[in-house]
Amino acid sequence: MQSSTFTLSPSLFLSHQKLRTRFYPLRFQPSKTNVNVSSPFHPSSLSSSSFSFKLRPLTTLIRFQTKATSVPESAGDAASDSGALFRTLELGALFGMWFIFNIYFNIYNKQVLKVYPYPLTITAVQFAIGTVIVSLMWGLNLYKRPKISNAQLAAILPLAMVHTLGNLFTNMSLGKVAVSFTHTIKASEPFFSVILSAMFLGEMPTAWVVASLVPIVGGVVLASVTEASFNWIGFWSAMASNLTNQFRNVLSKKVMVKKEDSIDNITLFSIITVMSFLLSAPVVIFAEGIKFTPSYLQAAGLNINEVYIRSLLAALCFHAYQQVSYMILQRVSPVTHSVGNCVKRVVVIASSVLFFKTPVSPVNAFGTAIALAGVFLYSRVKRIKAKTA
């Protein structure tokens, strides 16, 4: 049985008769303390009096029954489980989009570069379309427009420079060799990460980290010597892409913006995209000229609509997969992100081999598998290190 106790504070002083009339059939019991009712608003009367009321429900009138209800403990657990399930599904969807956008970017980009061998122009076009997307995102308030200080711009500029070079070298490699070979070379990114971190950050690798680099380097070498589409320009361009991308990661740790002025990953990527376009556009005009006009493509004997549509799709997928990559990085640890990047590279290599019908020898496939296994081992070693740190 539940009981309820009501304490009524006498903020309004009523006469004894009025109280009897108001609360009838409730029983009014004044306390034994003498009350000066002649001056109810005098401070002494407020401090020296107290009233106690006992509420007794009438059985002849409407009977109120109060039932106590309690929230089951399992309700909170169920809500927590549903929230965790939603976050897991959301993260899985982001990983799926990351892989799909990356696959289609490599396919469309390779198709364009095979008939239009101007990687600098293609890179600038991809940054230009990304800049349009960022402008629409900020203009339509789809994402909050950031307020960037000059100090932040100065810190982001080196990141934008190496980001531009990294994507340029990737396009140069894709234009010269098979997509699968480019990504096999790019699987050696951990090697450059360890070297640059030791040189600029003083982070010395553990014995396990060094051991994980052995299959990476060995697999890349084995795949390179047996690659049917091997080309030195394509090889060194992929290597330069690894170097610049990992140098960008080191710079992001070395050149840190003040914590109170820090910005989120998506905003950082958006700013880098705009700055990369501004950096690449004048270089394109100086180095390659304006060779993306309909008249030039027609004079070169190319299908204008086909080149434009595939370039647009490649640029949209390029921006989308990098945007999703930064969204994933906000939700998971860098080690988990690197594991996902390893799986993504496997999916891209397999899909490109199937789509372009790339000839792959058993030794070449074995070398690629060893390199990717080394990358996965490296990611696991980094995860163990992160847990023990």
Does the pLDDT at position 237 exceed 90? yes
Q: What is the pLDDT of residue 81?
A: 72
Instruction: Give the pair of three-digit tokens for residue 131.
Output: 């800049």
pTM over 0.75: no
Does the pLDDT at position 27 exceed 70? no
Query: Which of 148, 121, 141 shows the shortest CA–CA distance to 284?
Result: 121
How many whole angstroms separate alpha carbon 235 and alpha carbon 258?
38
Strand partners of residue 53: 28
How many whole angstroms separate alpha carbon 344 and alpha carbon 325?
11
Q: What is the pLDDT of residue 168?
A: 95
Task: Give the pLDDT band of residue 309 (cuts 50, 70, 90).
Answer: very high
Q: What is the mean pLDDT of residues 198-208?
A: 83
For residue 141, give Cα distances in angstroms to 8, 16, 319, 324: 53, 65, 18, 18
Task: Give the pLDDT band of residue 262 (cuts 50, 70, 90).
Answer: low
**Do 165 and 244 contact (CB within 8 A), yes or no?**
yes
Q: 99-103, 190-194, 219-223, 263-267: lowest mean pLDDT where? A: 263-267
Q: 38-52, 308-322, 357-371: lowest mean pLDDT where? A: 38-52
Query: Which of 151, 322, 184, 144 shows the shortest CA–CA distance to 248?
Result: 322
Q: 67-76, 219-228, 316-325: lowest mean pLDDT where? A: 67-76
Q: What is the mean pLDDT of residues 192-206?
A: 83
Of residues 152 and 257, more confidently modeled: 152
Query: Which of 78, 90, 53 shows the shortest CA–CA distance to 324?
Result: 90
Of residues 224 and 63, more confidently modeled: 224
Task: Give the pLDDT band of residue 84 (cuts 50, 70, 90).
Answer: confident
Q: What is the pLDDT of residue 206?
A: 86
Q: What is the mean pLDDT of residues 17-42?
A: 43
Can you give the C-alpha Rg of the chain in angstroms?
A: 35
Q: 17-21, 227-231, 385-389: lowest mean pLDDT where? A: 17-21
Q: What is the mean pLDDT of residues 145-161?
A: 87
Mean pLDDT over the full length of the chain: 79
The rounded percent of the chain whose pLDDT value lies above 70 is 75
Q: What is the mean pLDDT of residues 1-23?
A: 42
Does the pLDDT at position 176 exceed 60? yes
